[in-house]
Amino acid sequence: MTRRTTILVLSLAVLLLAGAVLPSRASAVSFVDQQVKASGLLLQNYINRYGQAREFAYPPAKMVKKGGGLTAPIWPANPWTGKVMAPGKSRGNYTYTLGAGDTSYRLVMHLSTGSYKLTGGMPRWLKSERDTASKQNLLLLQRYVEEYAAAHAGSYPAAAEMTPEAFGAGYVWPKNPRTGFPMAVGTGLGDFSYTSDGGGYTLKVKLTTGWSAAFGPISVLGRLTGAPGD
């Protein structure tokens, strides 16, 4: 065998060996990425359980980490580092973000290349149902405000008076469709906003899509009269 032939044979052998090694390395990387995906599904299960137990209010980002307060019997490890999987954009870690009103979320698992995205949220039909109930509650509150004005020479109640205790037992105060408790001034879903200068008012309710259109004083001809149960 000539020297030139020997070099050619050795070169071919190196190429063949490289071809055998590369698929093996790619397979190993793929296996680790699959582990990251499986860990993402485990985290999603913990997040979904939290939301389902709280009327589809999902955990804040500060909870979605080991020791953050999220109930998680087994917290996954980052298979690339061997350390605890944590928030971050490096491979083997994740990014968790909440949607509007805490009723949806996005969990992104960072792979060796690219990412694996998981999402969840309140069912669309339930959002529509609760928004409709919140709007109906707002109409009832508007009726109570107008009845108050009719009994107080056209003066509307102060914000501090917009409570079931202030209105009294003669009024059936609406309940927040999300919490089941009486509606109150606040910024959570199903809560309402009320401001008044005595001669007018604005009344809104927080929906899954944001604040509703504001209600204001009804014209004198359209003002409701009578007892709240009529």
- On whether both 133 and 211 belong to a single domain, the answer is yes
Do both 83 and 183 map to the same domain?
A: no
Same domain, 110 and 7: yes
In the numeric block, the tokens 């050795």 are attached to 10
Choosing from 68, 89, 121, the residue where a domain stops is 121
Looking at the fold, whether 14 and 105 belong to one and the same domain comes out as yes
Among 184, 181, 136, 145, smallest CA distance to 163 is for 184
**Does residue 227 sit within a domain?**
no
Tell me the C-alpha distance between 166 and 219, whole Å: 25
Q: Is residue 19 part of a domain?
A: yes
Same domain, residue pair 166 and 116: no
Which pLDDT belongs to residue 23?
Answer: 54
> How far apart are alpha carbons 101 and 58 in whole angstroms?
9
108 and 143 part of one domain: no
| 167 close to 194: Cβ distance less than 8 angstroms | no
Q: Identify whether residues 14 and 86 lie together within a single domain.
A: yes
Domain co-membership, 141 together with 89:
no
C-alpha to C-alpha distance for 93 and 95, rounded to whole angstroms: 7
Q: Which two tokens stand for residue 117?
A: 């995205």
Pick from 121, 154, 184: which residue ends a domain? 121
Q: Is residue 46 part of a domain?
A: yes
Distance between CA atoms of residues 68 and 77, nearest Å = 15
**What's the total number of domains in the chain?**
2
- Considering the domain boundaries, does residue 230 fall inside one? no
The model's pTM? 0.66
pLDDT computed for residue 192 by the predictor: 97
The answer as to whether 77 is a domain residue is yes
pLDDT of residue 37: 97
Q: Are residues 106 and 8 in the same domain?
A: yes
Do both 105 and 194 map to the same domain? no
Q: Please report, in tens digits, the pLDDT of each residue of the chain (230 residues total).
A: 565 554 444 454 444 444 444 456 778 889 999 999 999 999 999 999 999 998 899 999 999 999 999 999 999 999 999 999 999 999 999 999 999 888 999 999 999 999 999 999 999 899 999 999 999 999 999 999 999 999 999 999 999 999 999 999 889 999 999 889 999 999 989 999 999 987 899 999 999 889 999 999 986 444 444 433 33
Residue by residue, DSSP assigns the chain as --HHHHHHHHHHHHHHHHHHHHHHHHHHHHHHHHHHHHHHHHHHHHHHHHHHTTTT-PPPGGGSSTTSS---SSPPB-TTTSSB--BSSSTT-EEEEE-GGGSEEEEEEE-SSSEEEEEEE--HHHHHHHHHHHHHHHHHHHHHHHHHHHHTTTPPPPGGG-SHHHH-TTS---B-TTTSSBP-BSSSTT-EEEEE-SS-EEEEEEETTEEPPPB-PPPGGG---S-TT-
Which range marks the domain in which residue 143 is found? 125-222
Give residue 26's pLDDT. Answer: 79
pLDDT for res 198: 75
Q: What's the pLDDT score for residue 101?
A: 82
Task: Looking at the structure, tell me whether residues 189 and 152 fall in a common domain.
Answer: yes
38 and 97 housed in the same domain = yes
Contact 83, 77 (CB under 8 A): yes
- Amino acid letter, 58: Y
pLDDT at 9: 43
pLDDT of residue 184: 96
Listed residues 80, 99, 121: the one ending a domain: 121
